[in-house]
Amino acid sequence: MKTLNILFQIVEFLAALVGTFYVLKYRVDILTRYFVYFLWFNFFVEVFGKLPAFIETYDSLSFLKKTFLLKNAWLYNIHSIISIMFYTWFFKKNLVSKKFDSILNILMIIFFSTSILNLIFTDVFFEVHSSFPMIIGALIITISVFFYFFEMLKSEKILEFSKDLVFYIAIGAMVLHMVVAPLFIYGTYYSKANMDFIKIRLIILYCAIIFTYTCYIIGFLVCSRKNKSY
């Protein structure tokens, strides 16, 4: 379990680092730059998310035990909303169809509004990682990726899909959210009384994240080779 945790953090960092080198070397489009910024954002959220463990471990931080920093649920609740919104926006920007664009705009507005209301009118914000944005968000991202693949199949992009960075991002993002959503559906079993479920849940979650960020790394490397061939 600890090995998977460390590996997931390493792969997450490497994805952001490789992406940064890719952006600096090839001066790619602004969407790719935003995606790399997003990867760094995810990495620093994970780093900051370790703060409760440090507070519990080190006596020098004991003064923080009576603050909201003792739990990180609020951090991941905010991150979930931002993450889903970013992925949907990213795929939307890679679409040509105005119809698909309009549908995703509506879905983004509905998702953001209902997610905020869910945090306001429930007691989950500071207590637990809310399942609502993860489950609904997984559906929206799946729709976004479907739109992207549908357009790709109808265009000349299909001839060189393996050299398209967005293709790797789409595969990684879709797999991650399709795997993670069921884990939150059964989130009621997440308690100290169900340690076996907690272990299995973490293993699946870490493996899904490692797969996703590995896809991103492969995407950057493949696209780097493509640029070298020009």
Neighbours of 110 (CB within 10 A): 12
| Domains of the chain: total | 1
- What domain range is 173 assigned to? 2-228
Residue pair 87/173 in contact (Cβ under 8 Å)? The answer is yes
Buried b (16+ CB within 10 A) or exposed e, 111-145: bbeebeebbeeeebeeeebbbbbbbbbbebbebbb
Q: Which amino acid is at 176?
A: L
Q: Which amino acid is at 101?
A: D
Per-residue pLDDT of the chain (230 residues; tens, 9 = 90+): 678 888 989 999 999 999 999 998 887 789 999 999 999 999 999 999 988 888 887 777 777 777 888 888 899 999 999 999 999 999 999 999 999 999 999 999 999 999 999 999 998 888 888 889 999 999 999 999 999 999 999 887 787 788 899 999 999 999 999 998 888 876 655 655 567 777 888 889 899 999 999 999 999 999 887 665 44
Report which of 93, 173, 177 is spatially closest to residue 134, judged by C-alpha positions.
Answer: 177
Report the alpha-carbon distance of residue 143 to residue 147 in Å, rounded: 6
pTM for the whole structure: 0.92
Predicted local distance difference test score (pLDDT) of residue 165: 93
Q: What angle do CA 34, 141, 134 make, to 5 degrees?
A: 100
Cβ neighbours of residue 119 closer than 8 Å, sequence gap 6 or more = 77, 125, 130
Predicted local distance difference test score (pLDDT) of residue 190: 60
Cβ neighbours of residue 160 closer than 8 Å, sequence gap 6 or more = none
Predicted local distance difference test score (pLDDT) of residue 188: 57
Predicted local distance difference test score (pLDDT) of residue 229: 45
Predicted local distance difference test score (pLDDT) of residue 115: 96
Predicted local distance difference test score (pLDDT) of residue 230: 44
DSSP state letter for 58: -
Predicted local distance difference test score (pLDDT) of residue 66: 79
